Each structure stands twice: as structure tokens, then as C-alpha cells.
Structure 1
Amino acid sequence: MAVLIALAATLTSALLTVSVTPTAAAERPSRSKPSVGSATENAAVPAAIPDPTTASLEATNGPLATATYTVPNPNGYGSGTITYPTAGGSYPGVVLMPGYQGTQQNLQWLAPRLASWGFVVINVGTLTLGDDPASRGRQISAAGTQLLSLGSAIGNPIYGKVNGTLGAAGHSMGGGGVMVALRDDSRFKAGVPLAPYNPSQNFSGVTDPTFFMTCQSDPVAHANTYALPWYNSMSRAEKLFVEVPGDHLCPMTGYGNKAKQGKWMVSFFSRWLYGDTRFSPFLCGAAREADKNNPSLVTRWQDTCPF
């Protein structure tokens, strides 16, 4: 209870303003890795997505025009706004989940950024502002179910646009919810928990690619307590762990370096929801080195590269 009170005080104060040494990386997954650049890997990538560059990935919007659609009757979660590419073709779906006392505003910056790189993104609000991580995990699954259903509904704006592959990103308790969805719902194939919070949980069984982005000065969900132990326990998953300067709110709208954060998240989801190896260099290759070796941008970095 004391932790939740502290969390509420920290988030409420910041939202009003806006309106240990890491252990060694966990054992490399034993499963075979696809060859970089193989035709099979990139087969599902829409032709409209050009070769990525540092400049294009750090821009506010990607190459595709987007539109939005408000879900009229959310089923199993509080509210939903879908941002999707207007170009023809089908795309992976991504669920965005806010943190404790948060709303869709928390990750509003991320929805058009992902959609403009070829994802159908549903940014959700929770049933109640105080929903715990387990509830948020179930709501991520519910939002994924409805996203797939709407994509199959003739006459809906996203009809035919969702290809059946799902991913999720979430902040704080929403990040804890992402871990629940990855563990408990096999439809989710990649996740990005942002400053994740979920006490007394075991995620060692998660095998899907997971990108933990955490905040160096986080007083609520420090990486040493949550993200890093989870990262180190997940011995069968491809993983990325990046810690950046800032407090618990560093991934939220209005905080942190969104050019860099957006580049990493677009690259991660593109690599693992499309299998698009063109994005690998921004996470594992030479194109990432300027980020990884800049202490004003990245304070810790671990990975299971190459991927």
C-alpha cells in the first residue's frame, strides 16, 4: 500500500505539471536465429515502407499517412483510439497501455509514430484509473481481441488492415500489464514495457522478444527491482534493455528524447512483428553505437544481439 501511495503521489504531481550495477546478460536463447536480410523474413513487409535511416526513424512521423478512429463500444477495457495507415495492405496491431492514474494521453505521442511505420495502434484507457497490473494485462488482451474483430468487420475503417499479429507497449503498471500479456496470451509476439511495475511476479517463462526501456532516476519502478531481474530470468527470449536519464515518467508524452525512444521502439516492433531485418542495425549494428555510447542519452544498455 505504501508503494502505491508513493506511486500515486509521484504520478499525480508530475501529471499536474504537464496538463547496483547490472548483472551479466542472460543466457542467449538456444533457438536458431533467422539469417539477416532473408527474403522469408521480410516477406510480410508492405512495399510502401522504404529502407529506414537514422533521420527517418528520428523524425516525428514515418513514411505512411495515418488516420484515427474512436472505438464506439470498448469491450473489456475503458476506451480506445485506433491510429492506422491509410495506405492499402494489412499490418500488425499494437496495444498501448497507460500507467497508474494514467489515460490515453500517457502514450499519445507513440500512436501516430508507430502507425506511420506500418502498424495499427490502439491506444487504450483503463476501466478505472487504479487498475492493477494484472487487470491491465487482461485489458491489453481484450483490446487486442477487439482490434482483430474490428479488422474483420466489413465497413469498419480498419477492415482488412490488421494481419493478426499483435504486440503491446505500456508504461509503469501498464508495462507490468505488457509482461502479463506476453506471459499469458500467446497472440502477443513482442512487447515494450516502459519503466514497468509489477511486484512479486515471475516472467521467466516469457519467450517473446521484449524491449525494456527504463529510467535512471526512477523512484517508483527502478530497473534494478523490476526490469533487470525479469530481463535476466528470461533465458529463452530475444531481449533489449535500455536505461535512459530521467524519472519514472521518462517514456510519457512530454518527457525524454522522443526522437531516440521512437526510433528504438519502431525498430524493435518492425524487427519482431514484421521480421524486417532492415531495422536490426539501429538496435544491434553500427547505427546504434552513437546512441549506446552517449552517456547523456543512455546510462545502461544490454541485449541479446545479433538479431
Structure 2
Amino acid sequence: MQPVPDPQSTPPPTRPTRRRLPHALRPLLALALTAAGLAALPVAPAGARDGAPATALAANPYQRGPAPTVASIEATRGPFAIAQTTVAASSVSGFRGGTIYYPTSTAEGTFGAVAVSPGFTSSQSAVAWLGPRLASQGFVVITIDTLSVYDQPASRGTQLLAAVDYLANSSSVRTRVDRNRLAVMGHSMGGGGSLSAAAARPSLQAAIPLTGWHTVKNWSSVRVPTLVIGAENDTTAPVSSHSEPFYTSLPASLDKAYLELNAAGHSAPTSPNVTIAKYSISWLKRFVDDDTRYEQFLCPAPRGSAIQEYRDTCPHS
């Protein structure tokens, strides 16, 4: 079956320059400003109530929530109370509706947004568990239905972009979303779609293909920090012909990682999975929220019985 033609999505504003400043240089910048007589700092966001130093919050206004622990990123729910709302297919264009999960409080400011696509022949129910899992960690998340369950990866990529644009620009929760901090995820052909979306829009802050499937193997044009998650026993999208070449083809200079789930199959991302959740949360926090508190879970490379293999470039601080 031929994929449904892709609608056009609204392009986002220019990628913010905040990620161009290495974290290691921020203290030096602060000292320079102080020496110049500009020592006054802005009032810290409400996140200071969570125990984060005011100076750290001033350096990173996107930081959300308390300091993370292994327990907090492995938990079924994070520190944010959440709500959800249904998006009818008839109310949107570019994708076939979905479900939005979002933090109920904006006391700490706006949030980054993540769109998640299911795979071939699947509905949003296949990835629904990721909605509350990620939202409760401080993200606005939409799990989508695609225009057709038979849509190919490139089409799913365009639909993911339409979904994050909808979240940021016209959804009922748009005032909670920072439209400069958007990310995409997906399972199987939806994972291939997340790579297509990343290639099409370098202003995205993160991409996470989950046991991704795509006929395109070369993603050297991608400039978006990408976490590729594969599964050792995947026979639908074998890592040798999908996830591994996806990762290898990404630029060596890119923030990237490859996580292979031990003794897992293609459908591993379609039900609650602690390993997928903890490293997806860490990746999104590090690159969507620019929160270096989560680097400890990504570098040095994590090990454990649930991980068959892990490769990375380590975040370029």
C-alpha cells in the first residue's frame, strides 16, 4: 500500500543558541559578568524549592524537578502530577489525533514537548505507556495515531513533526510548551520516522528511535542528539541491519548513543520497560532540558544484565 501523502507542518523558530554555550564555560561567563559589575542575578525559578541552587537554575532555566536518582528515573511515575486530554482526529491535520499527557503545574515554567509514534499496523495504544511515564518527569507528551496504520517511516516522520507543532502552536496545552524544545520518539516504523523527522528538522532537541525500522541506513545528515535503542533478539528489525547501521552512520561529532536490550525482541518498547524508560528520560532531560544532572546515567556507559551493548560519544558538555 502506498503511504498517505505527507501534509506540511509549520516550521519552528530558529534553534536557540543556549546549547551552543558549553556547560563548562558557564561558570567562567558568570565570573566575567561579575567582574564587569553585573553581579545581580535574576530571581530563581520556582524549581529552587526542589533544592536546586539558585545559581544553577539561573545558568539553566530549563531545569525541571528535583535532583535525579537511579530510583527516580526507574520509577513508574516521576515527581510531577499529570493530566491527559484526547485529541480527536477531526480536530487536527497532519496526523490522526492522539492523547496528550502533561504536568498539571507550571510553577517551574514551561516544558519541553515530545511526540511518540507507533509502528506499522499499530495504534497509539502500543506506545501509550510512555505518555504518563515521560510527562510525570516534566514533559508535555503526545502519543499519536497515524493517518494510516500502514504509513511508511518517512510519512510517520512528517506526522511526528506535525504533532509537535500542534502541541506547541495550537493545542489546549500550548501555553505549557516551550516551542524551542521539541523531541520525537517512535517504535519500529515510528522509530524510523523519528530519524526521518530528525533529518528533516535539525532544530529538534532529541530523537529516540525504539527498535527502529527504515529502508534508509545512512543518517549522516542528522544533527539532532539521537539515542538509538535496539533489541538483541529482534527479527523484524534486526540490529545488524537497522539499529546498528543507524547509529554508526550518525556523525561521530554528534551526541549519540546506542543501547541494545539484552534478550529482548522487536515489541519490547510496546509495554512498560524500565531500561527503555530510564535512559529515554535521561536522554530527554539532558538534551531537551539541557540538564547535566542526568549525564551521570549516560556517561560512563551504563552496564547491567538488561543491556547487551552500549556505545556512545558521551554528551559533549
TM-score (norm 2): 0.78
- The aligned counterpart of 1:246 is 264
Distance 2:97 2:21 in 1: 40
Distance 2:174 2:315 in 1: 36
Aligned amino acid, residue 147 of structure 1: L
- The aligned counterpart of 1:277 is 292
Determine if the alignment matches structure 1 residue 58 to structure 2 residue 71: no
Which of 140, 158, 165 is residue 160 of structure 2 equivalent to? Answer: 140
Distance 2:223 2:174 in 1: 30
1:41/1:131 CA distance change after superposition, 3 Å: farther
- The aligned counterpart of 1:104 is 124
Q: Pairwise CA RMSD of aligned residues?
A: 2.0
Which of 95, 105, 113 is residue 115 of structure 2 equivalent to? Answer: 95
Cα drift, residue 201 of structure 1: 4.3
Number of equivalenced pairs: 262
Which of 173, 186, 192 is residue 208 of structure 2 equivalent to? Answer: 192
Q: Is the 8 A contact 2:229 2:258 kept in 1?
A: yes
- The aligned counterpart of 1:23 is none
Cα drift, residue 91 of structure 1: 0.3
Aligned amino acid, residue 106 of structure 1: A
Aligned amino acid, residue 108 of structure 1: A
Distance 2:99 2:25 in 1: 35
- The aligned counterpart of 2:99 is 81
Aligned amino acid, residue 123 of structure 2: T
- The aligned counterpart of 1:297 is 306
Distance 1:107 1:159 in 2: 22
* CA deviation profile, 1:194-251 (whole Å, cap 9, x unmatched): 0111113431110111001111011111121122212112123111101012111111
Structure 2 portions without partners, runs of 5+: 2-19, 28-55
Aligned amino acid, residue 148 of structure 1: A
| Deviation larger for 182-191 or 208-217 | 182-191
Larger Rg: 2
Determine if the alignment matches structure 1 residue 206 to structure 2 residue 233: no
Q: Is the 8 A contact 1:114 1:266 kept in 2?
A: yes
Which of 161, 169, 175 is residue 160 of structure 1 equivalent to? Answer: 175
Secondary structure class of the residue paired with 1:240? strand
Q: Is the 8 A contact 1:51 1:278 kept in 2?
A: yes
Larger RCO: 1 or 2 (CA < 8 Å, sep 6+): 1
- The aligned counterpart of 1:125 is 145
Secondary structure class of the residue paired with 1:170? strand
Secondary structure class of the residue paired with 1:45? coil
Identity of aligned residues (%): 37
* CA deviation profile, 1:91-129 (whole Å, cap 9, x unmatched): 011000000011111111111111011100011011111
Distance 1:276 1:246 in 2: 30
Q: Is the 8 A contact 1:56 1:62 kept in 2?
A: yes
- The aligned counterpart of 2:7 is none
TM-score (norm 1): 0.80
* CA deviation profile, 1:10-54 (whole Å, cap 9, x unmatched): xxxxxxxxxxxxxxxxxxxxx9853299647632223xx000011
Distance 1:142 1:174 in 2: 14
Secondary structure class of the residue paired with 1:160? helix
* CA deviation profile, 1:165-189 (whole Å, cap 9, x unmatched): 1101100000000000000023422
Q: Is the 8 A contact 1:74 1:80 kept in 2?
A: no
Secondary structure class of the residue paired with 2:83? strand
- The aligned counterpart of 2:249 is 233
- The aligned counterpart of 1:173 is 189
Determine if the alignment matches structure 1 residue 113 to structure 2 residue 133: yes
